Amino acid sequence: MKDFKKYYQLNATPDQVYLALTTETTIMLWTGDQAEMEPVPDTEFSLWDGAIVGKNVEFEKDRKIVQQWYFGEDGEVSLVTIKLHAEGDKATSVEVRHTNIPDEAYEDIVDGWNNIYMASLQDFYN
């Protein structure tokens, strides 16, 4: 199992980014796909029309989101923590920490964070 941690810059305030990550309608706008999300602990979620599925663990409004992501048919679970840090008046540093990633999925996960998930959010706010 491997861990991943990286910071991303977004041209939006932490409250805007939080809403984009926790509001089903807004998620569908920036992903272009179906999503199921309710910002309530112990609820299941689905992003990118089921490409990412898991369970919401913790929410700290405008500051932090913790989720379990499910992998494959073996029932492996990784933990994703997203922290939002204000950068001046109109920007946010998004800290992504993804732990317990299966070795065989690591490269795809890193590519997904860099070139799909966060790239889509960055495009949404530019």
Mean pLDDT of the chain: 95
Tell me how crowded residue 31 is: count the other CB atoms within 10 A of its CB.
20
Displacement of CA 90 from its chain's centroid (Å): 20
Task: Please tell me the total count of domains within the chain.
Answer: 1
Displacement of CA 11 from its chain's centroid (Å): 17
The H helix count followed by the E strand count for the chain is: 4, 6
Q: Which two tokens stand for residue 123?
A: 């495009």
Q: CA–CA distance from 29 to each of 21, 44, 57, 107, 108 (Å)?
A: 11, 20, 24, 26, 23
Res 92: pLDDT? 97
Read off the pLDDT of residues 88-103 as tens digits, 9 standing for 90 and up: 889 999 999 999 998 9
Domain containing residue 94: CATH number: 3.30.530.20
Binned at pLDDT 50, 70 and 90, residue 79 comes out as: very high
- Identify whether the C-beta of residue 122 lies closer than 8 Å to the C-beta of residue 12: no
Range of the domain at 7: 2-124
Res 76: pLDDT? 86
Binned at pLDDT 50, 70 and 90, residue 74 comes out as: confident
Q: Which two tokens stand for residue 85?
A: 């840090």
| 3-state class (DSSP) for residue 21 | helix
Binned at pLDDT 50, 70 and 90, residue 69 comes out as: very high
